[in-house]
Structure 1
Amino acid sequence: MKKSKGFNNKIIAITRPIERAQSAVKIVKDNRGVPLVVPTLELESFPSQSLMNLCRIAGKLDWIIFTSPASLESLFKYCENFKEELNPDCQVAVIGPRTERFLDDYGLKAEIVPENYTAEGLLDEFQEINLQGKKIGVPRTFKARDVLPEGLKKMGATVFLAEAYKSTQPKDTSKVELLVADIIKGKIDAITFTSPLTVTNLFEIAGNKREKLIESLKERKIRVAVIGPITQKPLDDLKIKSISPSKYTVKAMLDRLMEEIDN
C-alpha cells in the first residue's frame, strides 16, 4: 500500500482571517507542509444599531441562528447579558460543528446543526418545523447571502437581521500583493479558500495583475482548494478549476488537497 507523503514540504497558502487560520496551520504542519498565512479577509466586530436592537428583544425570540463563530463572539461581546435575557424557550441553530463548539463556550446548546454546513442546509432542517409567526434573530455580516433570511420569511417567520461584524479587505494589502506576485511566479504550490469573499478579495487586490493571476491559476501548476461549492462559484465564473471536499470543513478540504498533491 502506498504511504501518503502528506504535503511533502509544499507551500500551502491560507487566505482565511488570521484569527481563524490556526487549525489550518496545524493540519498543514502536521502533514509536513509549509503553511503561508495571507488573509485576504478581515473580520471587524462592532456594536451596530441592529445588533443592539437584537439584544433588546432577546426575551421575545423563538429562535436564534448563528452562521459563524464571529457572529456569536460579537453578540456576546456587546451584549454581555444576552444569555440571561434570552427567552428561556428560545431555541438555537448553528451552521456547523465549529460554530457549535464556540456556542458551548457560552453555555448554550444547539438544537439544530445541519449535515450540510450551508444556509441551504439550515433551511432544509427547518422544513419540518412550524415557523409561522415565530421571531428569529440572525446576527451576521451583511455581506452574507440572503438565502437564509429570505427562506425563513417564506416559512412564515419574522426575521431580525443584526449586523454583528464586517467582512472587509485587509487594511494593509502588501502581503496579499506579494502572494499574487508569488502565485504568478509559481512560488506557491497550493492555495486554499474558505469563503467567497476570500476569493473575490484576492482578485480585487491583484489590481492590474488580475489577468496574470487568473492565467497562472488556470494552468493548474498551483492547486486550488475550496471548502465547498459556494466558495467554488466565483472561481467557476473565472473558469479556474478547484477541488472541493464532500464535507464542508477545513480539515476535509486539506485532506482532499493532500490526496491531490500526493497523486
Structure 2
Amino acid sequence: MHFVETKEIKKQRKREKIINAAAELFSHKSYHEVMMEDVAKLISIAKGTVYNYFTSKEELYYSIMQVQMEKLISELKEKIESEESSLNSLRSFTTHLYTFMMVHKNFFLIYQKEFLNNENFLSADLAALEKQLADIITGVFVRGKAEGVFRDVDEKFAVSLIFGSIYGAVQRGIENKTSDENRKIEGGKVFEFVLHGLYAGFNDISALPLKGKTIVITRTIEQSKDTATALTKLGANVIVFPTLEILPPASWKKFDEIVSMPDKIDFIIFTSTHAVKMFNKRCNELNVKLNFNKTKVVSVGTKTSSVCGKDNIPVHIIPRKFSAEGVVEELSKYNLKSKVVFIPRSALGREELPHGLKDLGAVIKSIPVYNVSLPTKENIKPHIEELKKSHPDLFIFTSPSTFESFLQIEKISNPVTYFSKFDVAAIGPTTKLSIEKKKVTVNIMPDEYTIDGLIKKITNYYGNKKK
C-alpha cells in the first residue's frame, strides 16, 4: 500500500527540519550571532519559507526549547507512572534523561547555555519548564524517603545532586563522543553514582546482593508492590508483568447464604490476601459480622495474617507449613467431625485442601470469593513491550495460574526452550510441580513458602553464584 503524505504532514516535517537546523546553529553560536538566513541556508530553503513557519527568531528559538522540553517531560512522566517502586522510578528518570540529552545534543547545549544566562529573555519560560522537570524527580525522591529507601537529606540538595550528575555525564559524553552502544552502559553508571549518594540501605552500592540482576514478577500489580520494593532495595532491576487480574465471583449467592448463618461456621480458612479482602468487602456490603469468639480463623502465611489484622479479623491458627498439606496437618489436631469449615477462595482454587479436611470428617463449604482472568490487551501491552526490551535473569511465579497465564500471554509453545535462558523461582511445591510438568527447571524454591522466604532464597542463590 502506497502512503501519500498529506499537506499537514509535509508542513510538520518542514517545521521540524527548520527547528533541527536552528538547534544545530544555536548550539554552537550565541543567540545574537544566528540569523534567520543562516537557518535557511543550512537546509537550502528560502529565508521567506522560514518566516512562513516562525514570525521571528525569538519564536524559533523558543520553539526549539519548548518542543524538546515538553517531549522530555511527557516521556518521563509516562515512564515514572509505569514503575512500581521509587528505586525503579529513580533508575528510569536518570537513565532516560541521560539518554534523551545524549540523543538531542544540540538541544542539551542550548539548554545548558540558557541556564548559565539568567538575564536571557527566555529564562522565566524555561524556568517554568525546568520546574516541571524538577517536580517529577522531587516526587520520586519524597516517596522514596518516606519508604525509607532514600537517605533523609534535603530535597533541593538531592534534586541538585541528580541533575548535576546527569548533566555532567552528558557533557562528558558529548566531549568523548560516546557511542550509541555505550549510552546504556554509561546511563547505568550515572544511576549508580546518583544512587550511591541517596540510597539509605548500603554505604557501598557494590555490596547490594542483587545488583545487576533483572527480575520479573508475574503477580498482580497490587501484589507486586511490596515485592518490587524489597527486591530493588537489594539492587535488582524489577519488571512487573501482571499475568492475572482479580475479579468478583460470577455469583455471590452461596457466599451470602453461608455468612447469613455465621453461628454455624466453626472454622474459616484464608489462603490468600485476596480472599481476605474480598470476604471483608462482601461482608461489609451485607452488613454481616462473624462471631470470631465461636469461629476460629486459620490464616495461611504471614502476609495473609497481616491483612486479616488490618481488617480486624483475629487469627487463631497459623499453620507451620504454608500449604494445603500444612493446613490439614495443623487442623488434624482438632476434632473436625461434623464441623463446618468455610474456605473463601479463588474460583480456580485447587482441591487438595478441601479433600484433606473432608477426610478428617469436616463439612466443607468451599466458596469462590474472587475470580482471576488474563489482563486485557490494553493493560498488558506496555508490560509486554518492557519485557521485550529487557534481559531478564529470573522469573518469579507464585502460583500455577501465574505460570500458565504467562505462557498464554506470551504465546509460548515451547516452555523448555524459552526458559532455558533464565532462572526460574517458584514460591512453593504446588507451583514448582506445575512448572516442572512442562519440563521447565525450577532453580529456586524457598523452605518457607512466603515472599519473604523466596526473596531470602533468591539472595542466597545469587550470592553463592558470586563465590
**TM-score of the superposed pair, with normalisation by structure 1:** 0.89
1:85-234 pair list within 5 angstroms: 85-86=290-291, 88-172=293-377, 173-175=380-382, 177-178=384-385, 181=388, 187-207=391-411, 209-211=412-414, 213-218=415-420, 221-234=421-434
Query: Which residue of the partner structure matches residue 447 of structure 2?
Result: 246
Query: What are the Cα deviations for residues 199-237 of structure 1, in whole angstroms up to 9, with x where unaligned?
Result: 111112222x432x530312xx42111111111112211
1:2-41 pair list within 5 angstroms: 5-41=208-244
- Whether the aligned pair in 1 keeps the contact of 2:276 and 2:308 (CA below 8 Å) is yes
Structure 2: how far apart are the matches of 1:14 and 1:166? 20
Bigger RCO of structures 1 and 2 (CA < 8 A, at least 6 apart): 1
Query: What are the Cα deviations for residues 79-123 of structure 1, in whole angstroms up to 9, with x where unaligned?
Result: 11333x436411111111111111112222222101110111000
Identity %: 26
Q: Which amino acid aligns with 2:209?
A: G
How far does residue 142 in structure 1 lie from its aligned partner after superposition?
Answer: 2.1
SS in 2 for 1:82: coil
Over the aligned positions, Cα root-mean-square deviation in angstroms equals 2.0
Query: What are the Cα deviations for residues 148-171 of structure 1, in whole angstroms up to 9, with x where unaligned?
Result: 111111111111122100021112
How far does residue 176 in structure 1 lie from its aligned partner after superposition?
Answer: 5.5
Distance 1:82 1:152, change over 3 A: farther
Query: What are the Cα deviations for residues 176-207 of structure 1, in whole angstroms up to 9, with x where unaligned?
Result: 6446745xxx7212111111111111112222
- Whether the aligned pair in 2 keeps the contact of 1:8 and 1:32 (CA below 8 Å) is yes
**Any gaps of 5 or more consecutive residues in structure 2?**
1-205
Query: What are the Cα deviations for residues 1-59 of structure 1, in whole angstroms up to 9, with x where unaligned?
Result: xx954111321111011111111111111111111111111112346212212221222
**Any gaps of 5 or more consecutive residues in structure 1?**
none
Q: Flag the structure with higher strand content.
A: 1
Structure 2: how far apart are the matches of 1:90 and 1:216? 47
- Whether the aligned pair in 1 keeps the contact of 2:279 and 2:369 (CA below 8 Å) is yes
How far does residue 125 in structure 1 lie from its aligned partner after superposition?
Answer: 0.4
Question: Which residue, out of 235, 242, 246, partners 1:43?
Answer: 246
Distance 1:56 1:254, change over 3 A: same
**TM-score of the superposed pair, with normalisation by structure 2:** 0.51
Structure 2: how far apart are the matches of 1:42 and 1:54? 26
- Whether the aligned pair in 2 keeps the contact of 1:62 and 1:87 (CA below 8 Å) is no
